[in-house]
Structure 1
Amino acid sequence: MTLTTLLEALERLDEAHLQMLELAAVKKDAIKTNQVDHLIQLLNKESKHMKLIEQLEDERMQAAYAFLQGVGIRSNLNLNLTELSRLVFDPEEKQQLLHMQRKLSGTLQRLQEANTLNQQLLEQALSYIDFSIESMSYYSETEATYHHPAGKTAGVQRSGLFDSRA
């Protein structure tokens, strides 16, 4: 069996990851602009793409097993692309396989960086929301309403949101 089926599976897998990378860029903008409804739609699209990627990964594994059987290896080894390239003796096919490996690896690296950035943006947004809620609920109900100065009892008076004694 030729390497063509495996290379085609790798190409489709790279294209699917590139689509995920585009979704990650759109998701970053949705996070920045606080578009929660759009973000939910994007997460649903990502979920569908992940199912597609799982199917493509299965196809890649089947193509790799078929290639192994084609070169005379009967076991179902789970070899990575570098190990598979050692079994390719045609220099042109070997070069194509290594090129696809570098291309897919680069796409996956960019996708990981985009996902890490989106995760950090979400954590910052949640921290800001938590801080806002905490600062709004800092004063007790009696401190937040007006009381006539003559009616105040002697007690601890806070002049601002932050305790300056700390």
Structure 2
Amino acid sequence: MSTEVQKRMTEELNLLQQLVDLAVAKKEALFENDLEALRKIVDDEEKALAKAEGLRPLNVGEIGDSTEGQRLRQEKAALIARLKEINLLNQQLLEDALAIVDYSLRLIHGAEESNMYGASGKVETVGNRSLLNWRG
């Protein structure tokens, strides 16, 4: 493996590690509900992804089957797997947060129709029941 290819692989690994670090920071910002930190992390991710798009892809033949090439490929695969794992968790955290916001908005504004148990013990459809009195 040439020094140019090794340098290029190292650059890819550093970029992947940076993305993993940003994903971990995003997870922490989501847990802490820190919107300002989240905004900065997303900006940093966009810059890192733009840099990644500018990299020329390496062919498998360029890396070769040397022990160093295999080690670099394994390290790259491990970083990608870790990044996917963290991003999946972040996606679930965002979906949970959106579900809570949606529930809160429906609770405040009232649902169009709600099925509730009536005095008879049967489900009755009731109209718009808002938590707030919007009529004044």
TM-score w.r.t. length of structure 2: 0.76
User: 2:88, 2:11 → 1: CA distance?
Assistant: 24
The answer to whether structure 1 residue 163 and structure 2 residue 95 are counterparts is: no
1:29 Cα deviation after fit: 1.0
Q: Give 1:117's aligned amino acid.
A: L
* Other-structure match for 1:13: 12
1:14 Cα deviation after fit: 0.6
Bigger RCO (CA 8 Å, 6+ sep): 1
The answer to whether structure 1 residue 45 and structure 2 residue 44 are counterparts is: yes
Q: Give CA deviations for 1:99-139 in whole Å, capped at 9, x if unaligned.
A: 11000010011011111111110011001100011112227
* Other-structure match for 1:32: 31
1:4 Cα deviation after fit: 2.0
Q: State the SS of the aligned residue for 2:110.
A: coil
User: 1:131, 1:48 → 2: CA distance?
Assistant: 34
User: 2:8, 2:50 → 1: CA distance?
Assistant: 15
Shift in CA distance, 139/128, structure 1 to aligned 2, threshold 3 Å? closer
User: Structure 1: which 5+ runs fail to align?
Assistant: 65-78, 141-160
RMSD value, Cα: 2.3
Q: Give 1:126's aligned amino acid.
A: L
User: 1:47, 1:20 → 2: CA distance?
Assistant: 10
1:38 Cα deviation after fit: 1.6
User: Structure 2: which 5+ runs fail to align?
Assistant: 118-122, 125-136
How many residues are matched? 118
Moved over 3 A (4+): none
1:8 Cα deviation after fit: 1.4
**Rg (Cα) greater in structure:** 1
The structure with the largest strand share of the pair is 2
Shift in CA distance, 162/22, structure 1 to aligned 2, threshold 3 Å? farther
Q: Give CA deviations for 1:20-57 in whole Å, capped at 9, x if unaligned.
A: 111111111111111112211110011111112222x3
TM-score w.r.t. length of structure 1: 0.63
User: 1:18, 1:98 → 2: CA distance?
Assistant: 18
User: 1:163, 1:102 → 2: CA distance?
Assistant: 56
* Other-structure match for 2:98: 126
